[in-house]
A and B are shown apart, each in its own frame.
Chain A
Amino acid sequence: MATLEFKHVNKTFGAVEVIPDVSLFIPHGSFTVFVGPSGCGKSTLLRLAAGLEEISEGTLEIDGADVTFARPIERGIAMVFQSYALYPHMNVAQNIGFGLKMAGKPKAEITRKVQAAAETLQLDALLERKPGELSGGQRQRVAIGRAIVREPKVFLFDEPLSNLDAALRTQMRVELAQLHKRLGATMIYVTHDQVEAMTLADQIVVLNKGRIEQVGSPLELYNHPQTLFVAGFIGSPKMNFITGEYASRLGVATFGVRPEHVEIVTSSPHWTGTVQFSERLGSDTYLHVDVPEIGRLTVRAVGDAALTGGETIGLAPQAAASHGFDADGQSCPVRWNAH
């Protein structure tokens, strides 16, 4: 059992307040992903959980015990760094076993556990190598091995896959998901990557300027973003936002509809616009359409839409899948009947 809870946590570096006031509960066995733009405090929050940074105010509890001032080793956590942070002068076996060695475990036990971890991560053939002699993906596995061998209560990952190429990232993503399933441990994961967040998480925490914008399951955030920020951050391509007179006629400050929720229609279009250019991915086509008085809209058409630019098309938003936000960026209902 390992739960983790931030209670009114504040973090200040000198005069700079990076995390004003965060309260967050992370249930046992959850895979929680922190997302947010660069510099929003994801790493800082993770490092506060790890004990690498000191909490300025508030408390942190792991399994209900106050660990605000505990050293990292007393918290039962393990961390995987973006840079992997492998000890370059030690071989793979020594890297994985270092934590056990520091804990004063007997040699035989260390060897056995390192061997077991290496087998799960397919590293058994590489145990004698130094990190410099490994590929990026293998280094990543060693870093994960170093974390799992200590059987921590909570795993912390800071953008662990961001140095890998796309194919390897997909593969490691699947492996991480399997690892989580097998260990059943609580994991906190920081990423920039939408796909990682949506596929791995059972709970996503969207951060903005050190504040939590919304916490929820991936589809909850996708279907019911509570703020303009979350609406714009989750989903790719980005949600279309329409402000001005059109929005105010619907009783909102900003009207939002995702590109996949705008349909190309031939009869009684809601909007009529000119295709400026299209991105044809094969499976989908992203159309960038200029609609007079509304602006540029992105439309996602399934399959190859065979539109290359210059065509005039009719568009209609799916009313049920559209979003409204008030002047403060909070979600509010769209009043279609007023239209």
Chain B
Amino acid sequence: MTLTTPAGPPAARRRPSGFARMRTDGSLTALILFLPPAVLLFTLFVIWPIFSAVDLSFYKWNGYGDVTNFVGLRNYEILVKNSIFHQSLFNSLKLLLASIFLQIPLALVLALLLYRKTSANTAFRLIFFAPYILAEIATGLIWSFIFDGDYGISAMVANKLGTEPFYILADKQWAFWTIIIVVVWKYFGYHMMIFIAALQAVPSDLVEAAEIDGASSLKTIWYVKLPMIMHAIKLSVLFAITGALQVFDIIIPLTNGGPSNSTHSIVSYLYTFGLARMNVGFGAAVGVVLFALCVGTAFTYKRMAIDKGGQL
């Protein structure tokens, strides 16, 4: 390309304004054509439901007829005072901590063991990933069968050992632990896959350089591999957080929130006390709280872990 000196006065050389440039290069046409559908869809399916949920949460409404019974903040007051809701919040917090501190380390260890490409590794990866593909409801049913004290596998084990049948899902102390175990079991494969993909992208000569530098395998993991996949770990934690706050369809078939409503998550609480009991306004209030929690934790986390690290 050759540069020619402009013949006109200096004013003619001024950089064209954004709008003028868009008009000449055709991007304005593209904008007019493609922006409205996107805005429409986003409004219709994202913005509008959020606002209507916020709106609904100020009403007492059973799902039928007109929404007229305005109750102000009453739904939120009930929530704040409800001990079952407190328990549900606490349970969701436990799920969140388990996801971060049990599930992700487990996924990481397995990924480190299995990331190299061999046929045995592929087989193991598939096995560990299988729970993630399984539908949540099916997962719940399978595990409820395993834990069933009368007919399930735990019944068989108890029988063989000659002990009393053990109803772990009906045990207030242990029921939620089983839910945590099932949740970890179901989703660790997903995080493992993310880590495997990231580990495979670590240049092999970095690992070799560490070997030459005299790093043991554990030190190579600590000083080279983990820092190199930090972006994936951070992303995984974000998914784990948002996932943990939304656990629902594993709880329903396993315990259905019982015994005595001690194993609800926020979402199963919403479903049980909002939708199933026709308190749609109340359910909407729970939904708004859940949404705020999700957005709040996700953004806080993003601030703390991701933006500061400068990656992702």
> Which of A52, A86, A87, A99 interacts with B214 by CB under 8 Å?
A99
Tell whether A87 pairs with B209 under 8 Å between CB atoms, given A98-B223, A102-B219.
Answer: yes
Chain B residues near A35 (CB, 8 Å)? none
Q: Are B213 and A85 in contact (CB under 8 A)?
A: no
Chain B residue total in the interface (Cβ 8 A): 18
**Which residues of the other chain, A, contact B211 by a CB distance below 8 angstroms?**
52, 71-73
List the A side residues contacting B228 at CB < 8 Å.
88-89
A167 to B228, CA, bound (A): 33
Neighbouring A residues of B212 by C-beta, 8 Å: 50, 52, 72-73, 77-79, 99
Contact bitstring B187-222, A, C-beta under 8 A = 1, else 0: 000000000000000010110111111111001000
Contacts of B209 in A (CB 8 A): 79, 81, 85-87, 146
- List the A residue with the shortest CB-CB distance to B215: A102
Report the nearest B residue to A103, measured CB to CB: B214
Q: Please, which residue of chain B has its CB at the minimum distance from the CB of A71?
A: B211
Contacting residue for A85 out of B206, B214, B223, CB 8 A: B206
**Residues of chain B within 8 A of A87, CB atoms compared:** 206, 209-210, 223-224, 227
With CB as the reference atom, state the residue of chain A lying closest to B214: A73
User: Which of the listed residues B206, B214, B215, B230 has the most CB atoms from chain A within 10 Å of its own CB?
Assistant: B214
* CB interface residues, B 93-125, toward A, < 8 Å: none
- Taking a contact as CB atoms under 8 Å apart, the answer to whether A102 and B203 are in contact is no
A110 to chain B, nearest CB (A): 12
Do B219 and A85 touch (CB < 8 A)? no
* Minimum C-beta distance from A15 to chain B (A): 17
Instruction: Report whether A85 and B203 are in contact in the complex, using a CB–CB cutoff of 8 Å.
Output: yes
Whether B215 and A89, one on each chain, are in contact in the complex, defined by CB atoms closer than 8 angstroms, is no
Interface size class of A (residues with CB under 8 A): 20 to 34
For window 271-296 of chain B, which residues contact chain A by CB distance below 8 Å? none
> Would you give the shortest CB distance from B139 to chain A, in whole angstroms?
38
Find out whether the CB atom of B227 lies under 8 angstroms from the CB atom of A85.
no
Chain A minimum-CB-distance residue to B224:
A87
Tell me, rounded to whole Å, the shortest Cβ–Cβ distance linking B233 to chain A. Answer: 13
Interface of B is mostly: helix
B230, closest chain A residue (CB):
A89
Give the distance to chain A from B210, nearest Cβ to Cβ, in Å: 8
Within 8 A of B (CB), among A85-126: 85-89, 98-99, 102-103
Report yes or no: A102 in contact with B224, Cβ–Cβ below 8 A.
no
Question: In the bound complex, what is the Cα–Cα distance between A98 and B212 (angstroms)?
Answer: 10
Query: Which one of B205, B216, B219, B230 contacts A81 once the chains associate, using CB atoms below 8 Å?
Result: B205
Give Cα distance in the complex from A72 to B211, angstroms.
7
| Interface flag for A274 (CB, 8 Å) | no
Smallest CB-CB separation from B219: which chain A residue? A102
Note all chain A residues with C-beta closer than 8 A to B219. Answer: 102
Q: Contact flags (1/0) for A21-54 with B, using CB distance below 8 Å?
A: 0000000000000000000000000000010100
- Residues of B within 8 Å of A150, CB to CB, are 213
| A50→B206 CA distance, assembly (Å) | 15
Q: Are A102 and B214 in contact (CB under 8 A)?
A: yes
Q: Whole-angstrom distance between the alpha carbons of A306 and B206 in the complex?
A: 52
Contact across chains for B215 and A85 when beta carbons are under 8 A apart: no
- Whether, in the assembled complex, A214 has its beta carbon less than 8 Å from a beta carbon of chain B, the answer is no
Q: Find A52's partner among B208, B224, B230 (CB 8 Å cutoff).
A: B208
Decide if B213 touches A98 in the complex (CB within 8 Å): yes
Question: Is A83 touching B213 in the complex (CB atoms < 8 A)?
Answer: no
CA A193 to CA B163, docked complex, whole Å: 78
CB closest residue in chain A, given B227: A89
Chain A neighbourhood of B216, CB < 8 A: 102
**A-chain residues with CB within 8 Å of residue B208 when the two chains form the complex:** 52, 79, 81, 85
Once the chains are docked, how many angstroms separate the CA of A126 from the CA of B278? Answer: 67
Measured between alpha carbons, how far is A150 from B214 in the docked complex, in Å? 10
Report the separation of the CA atoms of residues A88 and B227 in the bound assembly, to the nearest whole angstrom: 9
**A73 neighbours in B (Cβ, 8 Å):** 211-214
Q: Which residues of chain A have C-beta atoms less than 8 A from B210's C-beta?
A: 87, 98, 102
Q: Contacting A99 at CB < 8 Å: which of B203, B213, B227?
A: B213
Give the residues in chain A near B214, CB-CB below 8 Å.
72-73, 99, 102-103
Residues of A participating in the B interface, judged by any CB pair closer than 8 Å? 50, 52, 71-73, 77-79, 81, 83, 85-89, 98-99, 102-103, 146, 150
Further 6 A-B residue pairs, CB within 8 A, beyond A52-B211, A73-B213, A87-B223? A79-B212, A85-B206, A85-B208, A86-B209, A87-B210, A98-B223
List 16 interface pairs A-B (beta carbons < 8 Å), by A numbering. A50-B212, A52-B211, A73-B211, A73-B212, A73-B213, A77-B212, A78-B212, A81-B209, A85-B209, A87-B209, A87-B227, A98-B213, A98-B215, A99-B213, A102-B210, A103-B214
The 5 closest A-B pairs by CB, nearest first: A73-B214, A99-B213, A85-B209, A85-B205, A89-B227
Contact residues of B with A, CB < 8 Å? 203, 205-206, 208-216, 219, 223-224, 227-228, 230
